[in-house]
Every structure is written in structure tokens, then in C-alpha cells.
Amino acid sequence: MSRLGMDEKVVLITGGGAGIGRAMAEEFFAEGASIAALDVDLAAAEETVARLGEPDRGLAVATDVSDWSSVSAAVDAVLGRFGRIDVLCNNAGIMDNYVPAHEVPLEEWNRVIAVNLTGPFLVARAVIPTMLRQGEGAIVNTASLCAISAGGAGPCYTSSKHGILGLTRQLTFDYGKHGIRVNAICPGSIETGMNIGEGASIAPGVEEEIARTPAGRWGQPWEIARMAVYLAGEEAGFIHGTAMVIDGGWFTAGRNPL
């Protein structure tokens, strides 16, 4: 029996093929939930599900969160397989190119907003009718320190992450009284493919900044995932509309955050 009440629950995770999303899949699974990993990279989502090691409790679905027909079909596939959705982790996201607004190509703005802000809206729009029918549900949105401050990214990413907190609050206002709790997490610098390794997009000077934070290190994906499990679980029943900062003290220490 899971202390957090995750036994028999169905958890839909976007961006479930890598990084924080994969860690969320592992942590919710460990608490007894079944996992739907949605990702634009199907092979990555399939690998997440394969690593869980229990095919009956996992489903990988190719999904582009920025596209309504893709999102709608994916949610139908999850419902077809599991029959319910108890938790939505709106986690898929992409970094921008760090340049100031007057140098941002319009395509870059549209691409980042589409994935990071329209995406969570679309997936919530597709999932909420099911949660309303069930009379309960929890949504956890992955925001960022860039949701509460500037300077850790460019204007596309920072605006998209500020937007997701607005979405979190509006959904809280509209659906809290219907049994749906909505919260956000604001991670600092987390060691994932977004920052480390081939194709990563890392802010200039970030390693030196991290070394000067109170924690003095990168965060690990599971350290965000555990908070998602907590926020979605029964112990967090009185927590609505919060933006939980998990950043090793970077923001508190007043340094330019990521």
C-alpha cells in the first residue's frame, strides 16, 4: 500500500522519454502507479516503459504536445488502455536559444511557446474532462526558476515558463472545487540531456554559478520527481496552486538562476 495513495492510479507523463520525465515514471511506478509515457521521441518513451520492467503497467505513446490532434489521440490511447487518468505531469519542454528579444527569430518564439506553454494547456484540455468525470485528479506542471525570474534563459523560455504558472493558477481556480488539484514545480539546474551532453543547450557560465549556490551541485532528476509524486499524492490534499522551488538554494542566494 502506497503511503501517497498511488496504488492502482494511472499517471500520464509528457516528456516521459528522458530526464525529469523518465525519473517521474520511475518514481510513480515505484509507488504502485501505472505509467503512460508520452514523448515526441517514441523510442525514448518505449525505453522508459521497458526499463520499468512490467509491461502491464506501462504504455509509450508518440505525442507532440504542441499539436492538438496528436494530444487528443494520445489521451484516447491512454484511456483505451487504462480506462482512467488520475495524474497528469505536464513535463515536456525545450530550451530556447538564449538570445535577447530583438534577435529572436519569430519561428523560435512560436516553437518554444508551442511546446512549453500551449502544450501543457492542450494536454490539460484533453485530460480534464476525464478527471471531472472521475471527480478527482492531480496535475503537476514542470515550470522552472525561469518562471519566477529572468536571466537564466532567453525571452521565449522565460515567458513560456512564467505562462505555465499562470496556467497552474487558473486551472486551480477553475477546477479545485471539482476535486482537481493543480501545482507546479520550479526546478533549478538539473542534470539532464537539456543541459549535459550532446545537443545540450547550456547557459554561459552556468557551471561556475552552480558551484557558488548553497547546494554547490546540479540537482538530479529524481529530486524533482519525488516532489511530483508528493504533490500528486494524498498527503498533499490541501496543496493547491503552489509553485514549489527546488533549486539547491540558488534563488534564495540571489544569483542569476537557470
- Nearest CA to 74 out of 17, 26, 23, 28 is that of 17
Pull the grid cell for residue 227. Answer: 516532489
Q: Which one, 40 or 127, has the nearer CB to ligand NAD?
A: 40
Q: Could you tell me the CA-to-CA distances from 75 to 80, 123, 129, 226, 228 in Å, in that order?
A: 8, 8, 11, 24, 20
Gap between the Cα atoms of 135 and 123, Å rounded: 18
Q: Which one, 63 or 172, has the nearer CB to ligand NAD?
A: 63
- Shortest gap between Cβ of 68 and ligand NAD (angstroms)? 12
Q: Is 253 helix (H, G, I), strand (E, B) or coil?
A: coil
> What residues contact 31, with CB distance under 8 A and at least 6 apart?
2, 4, 6, 7, 229, 233
- Shortest gap between Cβ of 173 and ligand NAD (angstroms)? 22
Q: Which one, 4 or 258, has the nearer CB to ligand NAD?
A: 258
- Clarify whether 157 is annotated catalytic: yes
- Nearest CA to 23 out of 252, 227, 256 is that of 227
- Shortest gap between Cβ of 28 and ligand NAD (angstroms)? 15
Q: Which one, 104 or 132, has the nearer CB to ligand NAD?
A: 104
Q: Is 172 helix (H, G, I), strand (E, B) or coil?
A: helix
Q: Which one, 5 or 221, has the nearer CB to ligand NAD?
A: 221
- Shortest gap between Cβ of 214 and ligand NAD (angstroms)? 17
Pull the grid cell for residue 77. Answer: 490511447
- Shortest gap between Cβ of 38 and ligand NAD (angstroms)? 6
- Which parts of this chain interact with ligand NAD (CB under 6 A)? 14-15, 17-21, 39-41, 44, 63-66, 91-94, 115, 142, 144, 187, 189-190, 192-195, 258
Which of 98, 157, 175, 230 does the annotation list as catalytic?
Answer: 157
Residue 155, Cβ neighbours under 10 Å: how many? 19
Q: Which residues are catalytic?
A: 157
